[in-house]
Amino acid sequence: MIRVTTNNRQADDAKQKQAMSPEERQRQMEQQQKLIAQRSAAIKHKFAIISGKGGVGKTTVAVGLAAVLAAEGHSVGLLDTDITGPNIPLMMGLEGQRPRASESGDAILPVSTSSGIKVMSMGMLTQHKDTPVIWRGPLRGIAVRQLIADVEWGELDYLIIDLPPGTGDEPLTIAQSLPDVDGMIVVSTPQQASLDDCRKAINFTRQLDLEVLGVVENMSGFICPDCGKETPIFGKGGAEDMAKEMGVAFLGRLPLVPEVVQLTDQGVALTDPRMPAPIRQALENIAAQLPGQ
């Protein structure tokens, strides 16, 4: 189990696994996979948020959908698998909080928000929020497997998995280890650089025989806080056109609103009345298209 103490010990756990014989590693992987399947069976719907590029607002979409689903009365878990750049604790208002071990000592209990969302992130396990996780790809993959095997989520309606940018070890580990994933939501901004990388994310998902649940266009037009006028700073509609071209659903647009940055940095939920109405309405419309809705 990942120890809820220091980052060095987490690295030691992962390195110890790498030092095992192939037979020992195989036995442990099989036992771990059984535990993953057992925990996964208690979760009705599981989907991941992916992007081909960093900085497109993927985590904003993840925490926003978690907030909307929880506000509707669903039991929700949020798993941050960005091992080297976890932002979920900040955006969920959970900085400085740490998960506890279960009474039996063989599982980790996720941290719960005031709205009941269960959250787990590597950012809750490091010694300090500025402590870097300096691991190569295989160690990150091992850590992701431990996060999904060792965290005791209990019964959930939804588990939302926030993936790091790209199509590397963490997304691949989730796709190959977590059974019965409903699919992936692809987040892009309207400009071409992001769209090109998101095509790769869609093809990555298809090659792993997972469903692309749809595309979300973030930063789709800047809304002036003074006059309310919308200006397409990064363009508008590019992700929708790309979704049609790739034959996947377009779930909706999130506008670029300055207040969102300020409030999410304070851990304010995207469903909070202080959030601009266009953001709240857009997230509600996207959530209405999710499996199980």
Domains in the chain (CATH in brackets) are 7-287 (3.40.50.300)
- Go through the chain and tell me how many residues it has: 293
> Would you state the pLDDT for residue 19?
66
Among 16-25, 32-41, 112-121, the range scoring the smallest mean pLDDT is 16-25
160 band by pLDDT with thresholds 50, 70 and 90 = very high
For residue 109, pLDDT over 90 is answered with yes
What pLDDT is stored for residue 228 in this prediction?
Answer: 79
Mean pLDDT in residue range 148-153: 94
Residue 203 has pLDDT above 80, yes or no: yes
Sign of CA dihedral 79, 158, 285, 92: negative
102: CB partners within 8 A, 6+ apart: 108, 109, 152
Give the separation between CA 194 and CA 208, rounded to whole angstroms: 21
Report whether pLDDT(7) > 80: no
**Taking all residues of the chain, what is their mean pLDDT, rounded to a whole number?**
90
pLDDT of residue 2: 53
pLDDT bucket at 14, cuts 50 / 70 / 90: low
User: pLDDT tens across 37-89, in order?
Assistant: 999 999 999 999 999 889 899 999 999 999 999 999 999 999 999 999 999 99
For residue 5, the model assigns a pLDDT of 40
Q: What is the pTM of this model?
A: 0.90
> What is the rounded average pLDDT of the residues 120-124?
95
- pLDDT value at position 58? 94
Q: Is the pLDDT of residue 10 over 70?
A: no
Distances (CA, A) of 158 to 42, 70, 73, 74, 79: 10, 9, 11, 7, 11
| Residue-level pLDDT at 258 | 85
Side-chain half-sphere of 1: how many Cα atoms within 13 Å?
Answer: 17
Is the pLDDT at 6 greater than 80? The verdict is no
The kind and range of the H/E element at 67 are helix 58-71
Distance separating alpha carbons of residues 240 and 229, to the nearest angstrom? 22
CA 42 to chain centre: 19
Res. 103: pLDDT tops 80: yes
Are the beta carbons of 73 and 106 closer than 8 angstroms?
A: no
CA–CA gap between residue 4 and residue 39 (Å, rounded) = 19
Report the DSSP beta bridge partners of residue 100.
109
**CA nearest to 133, candidates 107, 99, 169:** 169
β-pairing, 108-109 with 100-101?
Answer: antiparallel
